[in-house]
Structure 1
Amino acid sequence: MTKRIVILGGGTGGTLAANRLRRALDAEYEITVVDRDDDHVYQPGLLFVPFGLAQADDLVRSRHRQLHDGIAYLGSGVDRVDTEADRVHLADGGVLDYDVLIIATGARLVPEETDGLTGPGWMTKAFSFYDLEGATALARTLEEFDGGRLVVNVVDMPIKCPVAPLEFCFLADWYFQERGIRDQVRLTYVTPLDGAFTKPVASRTLSGMLQDKGIELVTEFNTGEVDGEAGKLISFDGREVEFDLAVVVPAHGGAECIERSWGLGDALGFVPTDEHTLQSKARDNIFVIGDAAAIPTSKAGSVTHFEGEVLTRNVARFLAGEELDASFDGHTNCFIESGFGKALLIDFNYDTEPLPGHYPSAVGLPLLAESRLNHLGKLMFAWLYWHSLLPGRDLPGVSTAMPRAGKRFETR
């Protein structure tokens, strides 16, 4: 009897999960990927668009063309999931029944949740580079910006790619130096965190880099309102940060279809998930990958990649009635562009914070240190994304589990 696997979302997680499963399972298993449009955006490239280092059109490819033969693609919005009936209700009124459901619906920007953000000043004095429209509009504005206070503001956590706002600050410092107007621009990074990053060792390193580059750091600032006309960020505790140009990372939420699915999502619309097996806590036949999962790790593309192997194995084990593999350790690594053709690399998991050393072993890329090699690694990742990560291939020498080799652990 044919078994039906339905995957909600044709982004990074949905695509690599579908491709891995197609190779792992016999033809008796039908695999269908559902997404509302056919535009697959390479999101790490959005950071470079405002500085003229990438073109928006080069970041978009067809979703269905990234899928292997034998995978069906359905261009449709999703209304809700009926977990009791094992059925997906589509926006056009159609339904899809499933034996296994994989949720890969990602995270969405909800700028409207912050008072004033989408009001006067939106897309003229306040922008976000987290989508194509905002990144492209910001590129035009930066070209004409000749001085004043540029504020980069993270409204709330969690967000996709938590290091990207810091990267924007570093690239802005480089960009204005290249234009010869750095002394006319006051750069400020405003974050709800108590430091530059969530992990202490990395936070000290990154805070020091902000200071060295003359970028002001404002911490524990919980943005409650953006007054675009007056050029002010206003926190819930009444503090204000003035700006001439604001680059805002809006609050994030889960997919609206998850919010409409009784018992499936949490208060933010993300899906409570076992952090080691990637099985939904709502139903045994639902698995979650990527940003849609409510697990204690970063919402980053590398996490999705490392999740792919465990998720594929567990879907196959579930279908075979076998015990699940509880080996996902929260492995995350991120390149952090620091400008001037250099970048840092951080590598960590649930239990180990980013540490100095090398990756993936004692001989490899330097961790928590600027280098040209790391910058080239970040640029190379775009090719790997389209040709290795999305097709569901393993990267030679890169394991799903975080390697301990090469890291400098403190001894007591």
Structure 2
Amino acid sequence: MAHIVILGAGIGGMPMAYELKALLGANDRVTVVSNTSTFHFVPSNPWVAVNWRTRDAVEFEAAPYLAKKGIAFDGAGAKRLHPERNQVELGDGRLLDYDFLVIATGPKLAFDEIEGLGPQGYTQSVCHVDHAVTAGAAWDKFTAAPGPVVVGAAQGASCFGPAYEFAFIMDTDLRKRKIRDRVPMTYVTPEPYIGHLGLSGVGDSKTMLESAMRERHIKWICNAKILKVEDGKMLVAEHDENGAVKKQHELPFAYSMVLPAFKGIDAVFGIEGLTNPRGFILIDEHQRNPKFKNIYAVGVCVAIPPVEVTPVPTGAPKTGYMIESMVTATAHNIQAQLQGREPSAKATWNAICLADFGDSGIAFVALPQIPPRNVSWFSEGKWVHLAKIAFEKYFMRKMKTGNSEPIYEKYVLKALGILKIKEK
């Protein structure tokens, strides 16, 4: 009888639990450990931040749904991992033994790397539902007394889609309120150009996103490094293609949302052989840590090098489809080890993304994520907005029913089918 512990109950951890449980023997146990009692659908956070969704619509208690599948849940969180003795030290001091461990925690949000950044400072965030709720309250106050907006991502960020998404969602909401003319908007990003996305671009993403931002009167600053944030003011250094500072900007704002850089969580940070210097989990081609052969990792916590060197540091994103493929490969590799076989399954690491603009949206497909690619496709249309709404409902239902079937590829193929119908 084996005990598999999964750290994290998010978009990686919950599907991981369901897929593993479906593959393991009747006497094998699965326990999910999380520092929060709930699952929330992170891609919906931009909607929560402008009050298009309530918290209750995108979040639910995880334990009752996991229990229906015979999966244990512990909400104490992980204080420190002790891989040399196969134990997780929980937040309340208890020790949890494991035979296999899957790290699916997501990142630590590195707001502290920039003075004044984040919900404890002067900018908002959509990285967590807690932050999105706070951002929604601030949005209500802002729309009552509108002014300049600064939105974007900090140096070292790796997840750019939600920053673009939130910029366009804010634009849509302001137009609906008929106050868009009172809100100058500036997009700040470490990307070397608009549409880079941490992926060296996808298809015609540069041209299409630049066009969308011009059409919506959103100015931008690329190769940007945020130096400091003060109350109502952001100090930004703009760099040239060689990395030298070419201009300093002092950007006033009445509302700002900036995605931070990510790090590994404290429970694993600095464990030799397990993490890189930023605290991300080192893995081989089978999602397994090279030193600790019974530890796997999936999702944003995985160490992936940047796609290319950029004048201001950018990271490589881990999209939902990529995470799902990591989950499936990991589940089959743990099953193989329990049966005395060597791991052989590999994640596809393809990138598929649906980003909502509030009334339209963009979709991109990068197969594989790191160039050169077999497929590099990018499109815009109202169908993406509708598809993301449908996908939110589909994914939430999957998490509540415990469906172990991977759905990203299947669903996006349906979405692309919608596109073909539209084009006809």
TM-score range for the pair, normalised by the shorter chain length:
0.7 to 0.9
What is the TM-score normalised by the length of structure 2? 0.83
In structure 2, what is the equivalent of residue 345 of structure 1? Answer: 363
Partner of 2:91: 91
Displacement of 1:62 in angstroms is: 0.8
What is the CA-CA distance between 1:395 and the residue it aligns to?
A: 5.1
Q: Could you list the per-position Cα deviations for residues 19-69 of structure 1 after superposition, in whole angstroms to 9, with x for gaps in the alignment?
A: 111111112212111112212121111110222211122222112123243
Query: For residues 175-197 of structure 1, what are the alpha-carbon distances to aligned partners after superposition, in whole Å with 9 as ceiling and x for unaligned?
Result: 22212222221111100110122
Letter aligned with residue 278 of structure 1: Q
| Distance in 2 separating the partners of 1:181 and 1:355 | 44
| 2:322 equivalent to 1:322 | no
What is the Cα deviation at residue 389 of structure 1? 5.7
Deviations 1:379-408 (A, max 9, x none): 0111221223673432579369999x999x
Deviations 1:215-264 (A, max 9, x none): 111001111211225x1233394722412222121222221101154432
Give the 3-state SS of the residue equivalent to 2:26 in structure 1: coil
Cα distance between partner residues in 1 of 2:73 and 2:273: 27
CA contact (8 A) 2:6 2:103 kept: yes
Q: Does 1:308 align with 2:318?
A: no
String of CA shifts for 1:316-357, please: whole Å, max 9, x gaps. Answer: 1122232322432212211111232x1221111234578988
Shift of 1:123: 6.5
Matches within 5 A, 1:4-403: 4-67=3-66, 68-117=68-117, 126-143=123-140, 144-145=142-143, 146-159=145-158, 161-196=159-194, 197-198=197-198, 199-200=200-201, 201=203, 202-228=205-231, 231-235=233-237, 237=245, 239-244=248-253, 245-259=255-269, 261-274=271-284, 276-296=285-305, 298-340=317-359, 342-348=360-366, 349-352=368-371, 368-388=378-398, 391-394=402-405, 398=409
Deviations 1:345-372 (A, max 9, x none): 1111234578988xxxxxxxxx522223
Using the alignment, how far apart are the partners of 2:374 and 2:356 within structure 1? 17
Distance 1:92 1:17 in 2: 24
Letter in 2 for 1:232: M
Unaligned stretches of 5+ residues in structure 1: 358-366, 408-412
Secondary structure in structure 1 of the residue aligned to 2:12: helix
2:152 and 2:188 in contact (8 A); partners too: yes
CA distance in structure 2 between the partners assigned to 1:353 and 1:337 by the alignment: 27
Query: Secondary structure of 2:36's match?
Result: coil
Instruction: Check 1:318–1:176 CA distance in 2 against 1; reply closer, same or farther (3 A cut).
Output: same
Which runs of 5 or more structure 2 residues have no equivalent in the other structure?
239-244, 306-315, 420-424
1:104 Cα shift?
A: 0.9
Change in CA separation of 1:401 and 1:168 when aligned onto 2, cut-off 3 Å: closer
Q: CA–CA distance in 2 between the matches of 1:64 and 1:203?
A: 43
Q: CA contact under 8 A between 1:306 and 1:400: conserved in structure 2?
A: no
Q: Which 10-residue stretch deviates more, 285-294 or 66-75?
A: 66-75
Aligned pair in 2 of structure 1 residues 109, 26: CA closer, same or farther (>3 Å)?
same
**Mean alpha-carbon deviation: is it higher for 216-225 or for 293-302?**
293-302
Greater than 6 Å deviation, 4+ residue runs:
353-357, 400-403
Distance of 2:274 and 2:354 partners within structure 1 = 33
Moved more, 280-289 or 129-138: 129-138
Higher alpha-carbon deviation: 7-16 or 196-205: 196-205
How many angstroms apart in 2 are the aligned matches of 1:172 and 1:354?
Answer: 33
Amino acid paired to 2:409? V
Matched residue SS, 2:268: helix
Give, as a single letter, the amino acid of the residue that structure 2 aligns with 1:85: R
Instruction: Please tell me the residue identity of whatever aligns with 1:280.
Output: N
Partner of 1:362: none
SS of 2:175 mapped into structure 1: helix
1:73–1:141 Cα change, 3 Å: closer
User: Alignment length, in residue pairs?
Assistant: 390
Give the distance between the partners of 2:20 and 2:258, measured in 1 at CA. Answer: 37
- Change in 2 beyond 3 A, CA 1:226/1:18: same
Residue 347 of structure 1 aligns with an amino acid whose one-letter code is: V
| Percentage of matched positions with identical amino acids | 25
8 A contact 1:80–1:260 mirrored in 2:
no
For residue 292 of structure 2, give the secondary structure of its aligned residue in structure 1: coil
Deviates more, 1:250-259 or 1:386-395: 386-395
Could you tell me how far 1:91 is from its partner in structure 2? 2.6
Query: 2:53, 2:155 → 1: CA distance?
Result: 27
The 1:278/1:389 distance shift into structure 2, 3 A limit, reads farther
SS for the counterpart of 1:369 is strand
In structure 2, the CA distance between the partners of 1:354 and 1:225, relative to structure 1 (3 Å rule), is farther
| Residue identity in the other structure for 2:43 | P
Residue pair 1:355, 1:368 contacting (<8 A) in 2 also: no
**Matches of 2:268 and 2:117, distance apart in 1:** 25
